[in-house]
Structure 1
Amino acid sequence: MNAIHWPQGYIPGFSDNFASNEMIITGISVAALWDKLIDTAAWPGYYSNASDIQFHDGSGPYLTEGARFRFTTFGFVVESEVNEFVAPEIGGAARIAWHGWCGEGDSRLDVHHAWLIEALPGGRVRLLTQETQNGKPAVELANARPNPMINGHQQWLDGMIAAARA
C-alpha cells in the first residue's frame, strides 16, 4: 500500500503531535470519496468540525494545487495551502495535502495534513488521513485524552464515507 509523502520538519515521530486514521471499505469508489474531499463546500455538511471556509483569491470551493484557503477547525482559524494534489488515476493513489498554520509565538501551530485514497484488490478502497503538528498547541493536543485529533479525524472519515454513499 502507498504511504503519505512527508516534508522535512513534519515527519511522524519527529513532530510534536501525530494523528493517523484509516478505513478500508467496500461499496464506494475512489472518485466518489475524492469528490467529497476536494469540495470544501461539502465539508460542513458531513464534518461538523470544519466551518467558515474561505479561499484567499475568491476561487473555490474546490481544492486545487496551490490553493490558499482558511477554515475553522478544533477551535483554530487555520490558514492553509495545498502543497500536494494528485487526482485519482487508474493504478495510482489519489493524494492531497496542505500545510496549515495559525497563531504566533507560543500559540503558533503548524501542521501538515495529508490524505490518500487508493483502490485495493477485491473492490476495496483505502481512505487514509494523517496529520503532523508542531508548536505548543500541538504538544497540548498530543497529551489530551481522549485524543481530539484522532476522534475528530475519524468523524471526518465517517462523514465523508456516508456523504459519498448518499
Structure 2
Amino acid sequence: MYEAIRWPQDMTPSRSPIHFTNELEVAVSPETIWSLLVDTAAWPSFYPGVEHVELLGGHESLRLGTRFETNLAGQDVYASVQEFEPMTRIAWAGGPKASLESKAYHAWIITPTPNGTHLWTEETMQGPLWIELAKQAPDIFWRTHQTLLEDLAKVATQGGESPTR
C-alpha cells in the first residue's frame, strides 16, 4: 500500500527495543493532512503534550534537514527532518535533551484513498529514558500516537480547530 520507511541503519525496528505503528483513515485530502503536519504552529492543536516548536538555523518551515526543538512525551527534545516528500511522507529523528543516549525516529506515510487519506505513523525508540517510560506504562507511546492521529483527524475535518477533550 505504501513505500517502506527509510530507516537509518541504527534505528531499524530490529535494532530498537521500542517500535510501534498506528494508522487511521481520514475523510480529508492528503493536502489537508500535509498542511497540518508541516505547520509547526498548528502542532499544539493536535500533538499531545506539544506546547511549542522552535525552528532552528533560520528555517521558517519544515523541509529536509530542518532542525527544531519542541517538547514531546514530557521531554524537551531536539530533532531534524530526515525524510520530506510533499503530500507523501515526512520523518524526523532526534531525542531528549536530558538523555543524549536516547533517540527516536518518527515517520509519517500519507496515502490518498477513495474516501480521503490513509495515515500511517511508525516510530522506533532507543535509550534509557524511553525504556524507563515504557516500563512504567508499556503502551504509553502507542496510545499517545493513537491520540495524535485521532486529534489530527479532528483538526483536519474541523478546518483547523483544536479538538476538545
TM-score calculated relative to the size of structure 1: 0.86
Cα distance in 2 between the residues matched to 1:45 and 1:58 = 24
Indicate whether 1:131 and 2:123 are aligned.
Answer: yes
3-state DSSP of counterpart to 2:11 = coil
TM-superposition CA deviations, 1:85-137 (whole Å, max 9, x none): 0002xxxxx110111123466x63111111111013x3342101111011112
3-state DSSP of counterpart to 1:51 = coil
Q: What is the letter of the counterpart of residue 79 of structure 2?
A: S
Contact 1:18 1:142 in 2 (8 A): no
3-state DSSP of counterpart to 1:83 = strand
Cα distance in 2 between the residues matched to 1:136 and 1:33 = 33
Indicate whether 1:155 and 2:156 are aligned.
Answer: no
Q: Which residue of 1 aligns with 2:13?
A: 12
How many residues align? The count is 157
Structure 1: which 5+ residue stretches go unaligned?
89-93
Matching of residues 93-132 of structure 1 within 5 Å? 94-103=88-97, 108-120=101-113, 122-132=114-124
Identical amino acids, percent of aligned pairs: 33
Structure 2: which 5+ residue stretches go unaligned?
159-165
Please list every run of at least 4 consecutive aligned residues from structure 1 whose deviation after the TM superposition is greater than 6 angstroms: none
TM-superposition CA deviations, 1:135-159 (whole Å, max 9, x none): 1122223333352211111111111
Q: What is the letter of the counterpart of residue 82 of structure 1?
A: V
